[in-house]
Amino acid sequence: MEWSLLPVWGIDFFGSAAMILVSLLCVVEAYKNSQKNPDSPLAAYILWFSMALFAFSASRSIGHMIKYVLLYFGRADLWHRLSPVSGSINTIAFTGISSVTLFFHRMQKIMEKMEKDRIKIEKTTKELLKLNEDIEAVVSQRTKSELALRIAHRIRNPVMIIGGLIRQLMRKGHEDYENYQLHLEKILEQAKKLESLVSTFENLRASTQETFIDIDLNELAEEVIEVITPEADKKGIVLVFERSAKPLTFRGNPHLLKIALLHIIRNAIEACKHGDSIEITTGIEGGRLFLEVKDNGPGIPPEILKHILKAFYTTKEGKTGLGLPYVNQIIKEHRGELKVDSVQGAGTTVRIYLPTHGPELGPEVQ
Amino acid sequence: MKIKKFLIPEFVLIFLLLLTRTNAYALQSHIGIEGLYVHQGAHILFAVSMATFAWRVRGFVFLSPGVRKNLFVGAILLVLWNAWAFTGHIVELMIPRGHILYHPGTKIPSLSIHAWYDLLYYFFKMDHLWCLPAIIFIYLGIRDISKSAAEW
Ligand SMILES: Nc1ncnc2c1ncn2[C@@H]1O[C@H](COP(=O)(O)OP(=O)(O)O)[C@@H](O)[C@H]1O
Ligand SMILES: [Mg+2]
């Protein structure tokens, strides 16, 4: 019985060609992926792996293909000289792919450990944040009660004296004119003490409000936009500012509010891609000032939108997800409100509302 | 420290194989039995590393289930291919030269089938039936990695 080796040769020849092609495609895909994730060790590994695979396929397949061509054209002698070289390269490629793969085994362990550490750090930070909140609550509780005690203490004396003097007066009536006058003077003295106490409190209140000053929301927005424009330009995103014609003064902490605005706009920039635009609008609505950051980016899926104000909620790698909760906190400190609306695929609108302070309300109310 | 200790056996093995690479002759022409040993050793190493890879990749949380499955299947097929090629090289040695016949006028020879090993030779030479699907699965896996990369 005699079988032609044609099928064997055919499969070997075309199989070899296909091996080269497919392994080359692997390298291309792995390269694209590693460009997309330049910091990922896994992407780097996959690229190495596919290059080793390509080296293996190419060395083996080219050897095989040359062999068939040479044998086909009756040059077995040439093939006998070439084959040790081709075979050696092939064997080296085998060991190469093995070393890359076995190295991966170690790398994976390291990455798993890194991931575990990351989760641990996240948990610890969360606990710290919670603890900090608790401490703050306790501290403010204590300050409040201390303050109340001090007030009570400083008010008690004058009030008791006044009370006693008046009671005496009421008992004796008007007969003893000299004493009557004296009593009144004493009462007045104590009343003055109370008055001065009240002004001390007013001062105290003013000093805690010192960080809150009169600012204009338009100016604030302008300053922030100036800072962030280069970041938007770099990504090819257009920033448009629709500035309200009216002055939008209010009392607030400009430093904190700038951080909040910066973060809201930065989130929009991070979400948008080249050619998208972000519109920033200021104005007055329903007796409150507002600032709107509207982008036509990818939007936020409803299931994410629900959690967006929770700490540590993020969809980005290497981010903390602390941004929006912090922004919300700042706005709340100003008795304002943060609203996030989003339509998936159409864009996101973030609005902050702030209570007004001053005459700018006038025209709107009329 | 721990990592270094673990790496040693693998690298010693690879290093030894690389040291002996000068002896690794091509199998296709049956020159030099040492070359065959080295090559067969490399096949075993290749198979072991692919088996390890397949075992590990299943639990790799950074990749989506689809990617993991494709890479797993690809690696397992490569293990099978190594076993297939390993056997093929042994069978190759058993074939007497005279069984490959060049008839005048034909450029592609034929195989005279006299014994069981002639048949084995015929089938074991068609090893691309294993390694081509293997690499296609690996390609499909790698192609989809960037899609699941968003979750990294
Ligand atoms: N303008 C926006 N467009 C689309 N997604 C957004 C936008 N703003 C926020 N997000 C989503 O909300 C998540 C939480 O935002 P944030 O609290 O600022 O945390 P981080 O920016 O650190 O991820 C982001 O990861 C992102 O997915
Ligand atoms: Mg953010």
Segment A210-242, tens digit of pLDDT: 677 889 999 999 999 998 999 999 999 999 999
Chain Cα centroid distance, residue A364? 35
Q: Which of A6, A8, A13, A86 to mutate to test binding with chain B, by most B CBs within 10 Å of its CB?
A: A8
**Where a domain ends, among A185, A208, A231?**
A208
Euclidean distance between CA atoms B102 and B88, whole angstroms: 21
Identify the CA nearest to A95 among candidates B99, B47, B136. B47
Q: Which of residues A363 and A350 earns the better pLDDT score?
A: A350
pLDDT per residue as tens digits for the range A24-79: 999 999 999 998 877 777 888 889 989 999 999 998 999 989 988 998 888 888 98
3-class SS at A341? strand
**Where a domain ends, among A208, A239, A259?**
A208
Euclidean distance between CA atoms B83 and B79, whole angstroms: 6
Ramachandran category for residue A116: left, alpha or beta (phi over 0 → left; psi -120 to 50 → alpha): alpha
Residue A323 Cα to ligand 1 midpoint, Å, equals 8
Based on the fold, state whether residues A163 and A223 are members of the same structural domain.
no
Based on the fold, state whether residues A125 and A178 are members of the same structural domain.
yes
In chain A, which residues have their Cβ closer than 8 Å to the Cβ of B131? Answer: 15, 19
Asked if the model's pLDDT at residue A365 lies above 50, the reply is no
Give mean pLDDT, residues A182-199. Answer: 87
How is residue A298 written in tokens? Answer: 């990818």
Q: A302 lies in which domain range?
A: 213-355
Asked if the model's pLDDT at residue B15 lies above 60, the reply is no
For the ranges A7-21, A176-190, A311-325, B94-108, the one whose mean pLDDT is highest: A7-21
Q: Which of residues B81 and A9 earns the better pLDDT score?
A: B81
Query: Does A87 contact B49 at a Cβ distance shorter than 8 Å?
Result: no
Check if the beta carbon of residue A295 is closer than 8 Å to that of residue A343.
no
Check if the beta carbon of residue A210 is closer than 8 Å to that of residue A203.
no
Asked if the model's pLDDT at residue A132 lies above 90, the reply is no
Ligand 1 atom closest to Cα of residue A293: 1
Q: Which of B92, B128, B132, B147 to mutate to test binding with chain A, by most A CBs within 10 Å of its CB?
A: B128
Based on the fold, state whether residues A64 and A13 are members of the same structural domain.
yes
Asked if the model's pLDDT at residue A352 lies above 90, the reply is yes
pLDDT of residue B7: 47
Based on the fold, state whether residues A164 and A95 are members of the same structural domain.
no
In a domain, A176, yes or no: yes
How far does the CA of residue A90 sit from the closest CA of chain B (Å)?
8
Can you give the CATH number for the domain in which A279 is found? 3.30.565.10
Nearest to B138 among A26, A79, A95 (CB): A26
Asked if the model's pLDDT at residue A265 lies above 90, the reply is yes
pTM: 0.53
In chain B, which residues have their Cβ closer than 8 Å to the Cβ of A7? Answer: 126
Q: For chain B, which residues make up each domain, given as ranges?
A: 5-151
Based on the fold, state whether residues A317 and A185 are members of the same structural domain.
no
Residue A276 Cα to ligand 1 midpoint, Å, equals 16
In a domain, A137, yes or no: yes
Chain Cα centroid distance, residue B42? 9
pLDDT of residue B84: 94
Based on the fold, state whether residues A197 and A223 are members of the same structural domain.
no
Environment of ion ligand 2 (residues, CB < 5 A):
A 267, 323
Euclidean distance between CA atoms A62 and B72, whole angstroms: 26
Q: Helix axis angle, A76-172 relative to B2-19, nearest 10°? A: 170
Check if the beta carbon of residue A281 is closer than 8 Å to that of residue A261.
no
pLDDT confidence bin for A18, thresholds 50/70/90:
very high
Asked if the model's pLDDT at residue B151 lies above 80, the reply is no
Q: Helix axis angle, B33-57 relative to A76-172, nearest 10°? A: 20
**Where a domain ends, among A208, A243, A269?**
A208
Based on the fold, state whether residues A242 and A307 are members of the same structural domain.
yes
- Cβ neighbours, 10 Å, residue A19: 26
Asked if the model's pLDDT at residue A195 lies above 60, the reply is yes
Euclidean distance between CA atoms B108 and A67, whole angstroms: 12
Q: Which of residues A202 and A45 earns the better pLDDT score?
A: A45
Based on the fold, state whether residues A350 and A234 are members of the same structural domain.
yes
Euclidean distance between CA atoms B77 and A57, whole angstroms: 15
pLDDT confidence bin for B32, thresholds 50/70/90:
low
pLDDT per residue as tens digits for the range A134-166: 776 676 677 777 777 877 888 888 889 999 888
pLDDT of residue A314: 67
pLDDT of residue A317: 62
Residue of B nearest to A18 (CA): B132
Overall number of domains in chain A:
3
Indicate the pairing of strand A213-216 with strand A249-252: antiparallel
Q: What percent of chain A has pLDDT over 90?
A: 34
Euclidean distance between CA atoms A103 and A196, whole angstroms: 78
Contacts of B59 (CB under 8 A, 6+ apart): none
Tell me the DSSP string of B48-65. HHHHHHHHHHTT-TTS-H
For all residues of chain A together, what is the average pLDDT?
84
Based on the fold, state whether residues A264 and A184 are members of the same structural domain.
no
Indicate the pairing of strand A288-295 with strand A213-216: unpaired
pLDDT confidence bin for A261, thresholds 50/70/90:
very high
Phi, psi (rounded to 5 degrees) for A287: 80, 5
Based on the fold, state whether residues A23 and A131 are members of the same structural domain.
no
> Which amino acid does the sequence have at B87?
T
Check if the beta carbon of residue A27 is closer than 8 Å to that of residue A54.
yes
In a domain, A274, yes or no: yes
For all residues of chain B together, what is the average pLDDT?
77
Q: What is the DSSP letter of A2?
A: E
In a domain, A114, yes or no: no
Based on the fold, state whether residues A218 and A149 are members of the same structural domain.
no
Q: Which of residues B33 and B143 earns the better pLDDT score?
A: B143
Can you give the CATH number for the domain in which A143 is found? 1.10.287
A47-62 burial by CB neighbour count: b if 16+ within 10 A, else e? bbbbbbbbbbbbbbbb
Give mean pLDDT, residues B31-51. Answer: 86
Give mean pLDDT, residues A79-89. Answer: 86
